[in-house]
């Protein structure tokens, strides 16, 4: 069960990493971006997320882990609303729900 908790943390970290990279993208020019701490926070979180992914793959099938990484879409929707004030439409919610439902169905061992 701990493996699934780590998978949840891994997907959340990937989504937070993207948020930091989005913030870093707002700087002017390459040098400005290289001086932006958000670039390094995002990159570091991506590396940690990748390491957790490798650990999870030791215990779960690849055909289970990869579909469940689509949970990142759910976290991204919440974070984009909370921190970037993006509008979340019904269509986006339905899309994410369908993606997650599909991922769960694909990863179920029936």
Looking at beta carbons, which pairs linking 56-61 to residues 24 or more positions away fall under 8 Å?
56/3, 56/6, 56/7, 56/10, 59/3, 60/3, 60/7
Q: Which is higher by pLDDT, 107 or 84?
A: 84
Which residue shows structure tokens 């994410």? 96
pLDDT tens for each residue of 29-81: 889 889 999 999 999 999 999 999 999 999 999 989 999 999 999 999 999 99
> For residues 38 and 77, what is the distance between their CA atoms, to the nearest angstrom?
19
pLDDT band of 9, cuts 50, 70, 90: very high
Tokens found for residue 66: 């990869």
Q: Is the predicted pLDDT of residue 110 greater than 80, yes or no? A: no
Domain map of the chain by residue range?
A: 2-107
Name residues whose C-beta falls within 8 Å of residue 103's C-beta, 6 or more positions apart in sequence: 67, 68, 70, 71
């Amino acid at each position: 069960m701990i493996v699934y908790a780590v998978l949840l943390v891994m997907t959340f970290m990937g989504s937070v990493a993207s948020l930091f990279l989005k913030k870093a993208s707002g700087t002017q020019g390459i040098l400005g971006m290289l001086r932006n701490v958000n670039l390094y926070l995002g990159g570091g979180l991506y590396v940690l997320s990748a390491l957790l992914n490798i650990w999870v793959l030791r215990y779960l099938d690849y055909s289970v882990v990869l579909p469940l990484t689509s949970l990142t879409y759910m976290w991204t929707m919440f974070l984009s609303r909370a921190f970037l004030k993006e509008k979340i439409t019904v269509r986006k919610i339905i899309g994410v729900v369908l993606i997650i439902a599909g991922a769960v169905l694909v990863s179920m061992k029936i």
